[in-house]
Structure 1
């Protein structure tokens, strides 16, 4: 029986990786600061603050696999010091935010990364973590660089905003999307890949990203899955930015939208991921699962990303009179 240690296995992705390993018959331990219901039944939970002395005392064992999900450099470094020599295989979950440029379509893992100067910056901290991991466990290391992760339970609300919003109906404010792209990886496809790659002893660097799809296509598929019969009212990038609408994520934003200068972020190559056995499920499947989760969690709940209904109504009113808006009926 394989022994797997997941550093942070009580959160969204980590809990799913733990569940996949358990299903394969592995003995799974999750080291986390707090106890939450997300730790799957059958896994052993070790509660410890990784910034405190003795945090790893209960897991100083030999491991077939260690999965690291943290991004703070001091936490990543402490794990490597305590456990690096005890792991037959080490998986670091990094991010495509490590790349220095986002204007190169179809760039692969050889693209240049940012220099880790500001370790409070997520992407730069992940680069530092990658380099520290390579220094300590290079011959046993898999670096997984996911793009946007989507699926049930997503705490960021980036992808879920759209199925939830279209399910509510009415006029929906969207960015003009002739050249915009969306690239997501389903959380369960990613969890399956991490668990399976660890079992196979896969090493190297892999962009774990899904298919790059036109934003308009994703909206059309979302409309079909949600039963949306309203209008998509498009506004230009310039108009949205001038009216303080943010892109990508966060409050008062249109999630997933990226300026044209960042097209490379949503068009990265997933050839290495597929060659290593990674699966990309149809976008309709992810949309349907996210919609069911959105309905269960409440379509009118407060969100971490997107426009509040009152904000959207005000923006639509300012955009243009109803009979002159650039709109599409789905």
Structure 2
């Protein structure tokens, strides 16, 4: 298969390119080349998709499949315009495209946000609307039978530079305090849903090979936060105590949710967001998506985190100092 990846230097695109090369495909990546290198065996064409003629270097080839991970509607509209001779187009969208993130168990037929009217997504506030606009451009340009929309949930595994799936196994493996106690939010029933980047990439390559059409939630299995933390503890061989704090206490001490600095990753206290990690993945699994156990993902993520340096700055979670300080205060209120 002659596969064009629009990207291929960042985390997911790189993994797709690597697996496609391993499966014997002819892989070309079109990217600016700022995010990193492409895998060995793939070809790189350096170009900027923000320019109107940015796809000119690849527009004359006959591609069996194009894979696109963009969030910018203008980039996707130009790609659809310039790559009309491609046989198949796979667009990687997001669960953020859905209008509501509250209800549990929603499938691909749930209502979407209105599409972004601008060709440029200026801030992450309009990320979901931008992805909807991208989806529409692909479907209108290629026809629903010649394209696939993969709405992806939280991606995890080795290479997670965002720190959302690496924080917990790393924290349990390297507690901030000598007695091994770890601080967790009191949210045992909170849904979590992680897809391993390697499983997602494998299925995207498979979908290009089979030229699968339709819309799919490309997401992991939904597990409770309690189950997720148990898998992280097992991966880390943690035998210390865990101390729980409720949302009100954590918020009053400036602890954030989901991601970012001074946060407890994956934690969401507002039920209006719980459905984000509890979407149906049945359609994708019926179409060949194979998912490894969460513990295996967290094991590999921990290994990658440790190899990358446990003291490097991270995009999510509490620093050792922040967690130790919070634990000292929390434990003192218990006595």
Q: For each residue in 1:272-328, what CA deviation from the matched residue of structure 2 results, as whole angstroms up to 9, or x when unmatched?
A: 01011001111111011111101101112110111112221222233242754xxxx
Change (3 A) 1:129 1:37: closer
Aligned twin of 1:159? 165
> What is the CA-CA distance between 1:38 and the residue it aligns to?
3.6
Residue 63 (1) aligns with residue 63 (2): yes
* Alpha-carbon separation, structure 1, partners of 2:152 and 2:127: 13
Aligned twin of 2:226? 216
TM-score where L is the length of structure 2: 0.92
Aligned twin of 1:15? 14
Unpaired segments of 5 or more residues in structure 2? none
SS at match of 2:173: helix
8 A contact 2:33–2:46 mirrored in 1: yes
More moved, 314-323 vs 267-276: 314-323
Unpaired segments of 5 or more residues in structure 1? 325-330
Aligned twin of 2:319? 308
Q: For each residue in 1:226-248, what CA deviation from the matched residue of structure 2 results, as whole angstroms up to 9, or x when unmatched?
A: 11122211111222222221111
* Alpha-carbon separation, structure 2, partners of 1:252 and 1:279: 34
Task: Please give the residue correspondences for 1:267-306 in structure 2 after superposition, counting only pairs within 5 Å.
Answer: 267-306=278-317
Aligned twin of 1:327? none
Aligned twin of 2:115? 116
Aligned twin of 1:185? 195
Change (3 A) 1:322 1:142: same
Residue 263 (1) aligns with residue 274 (2): yes
> What is the CA-CA distance between 1:171 and the residue it aligns to?
2.1
> What is the CA-CA distance between 1:257 and the residue it aligns to?
0.7
8 A contact 1:35–1:47 mirrored in 2: no
8 A contact 2:29–2:38 mirrored in 1: yes
TM-score where L is the length of structure 1: 0.94
Aligned twin of 1:144? 150
* Alpha-carbon separation, structure 2, partners of 1:98 and 1:53: 26
Moved over 4 A (4+): none
Superposition CA RMSD, Å: 1.5
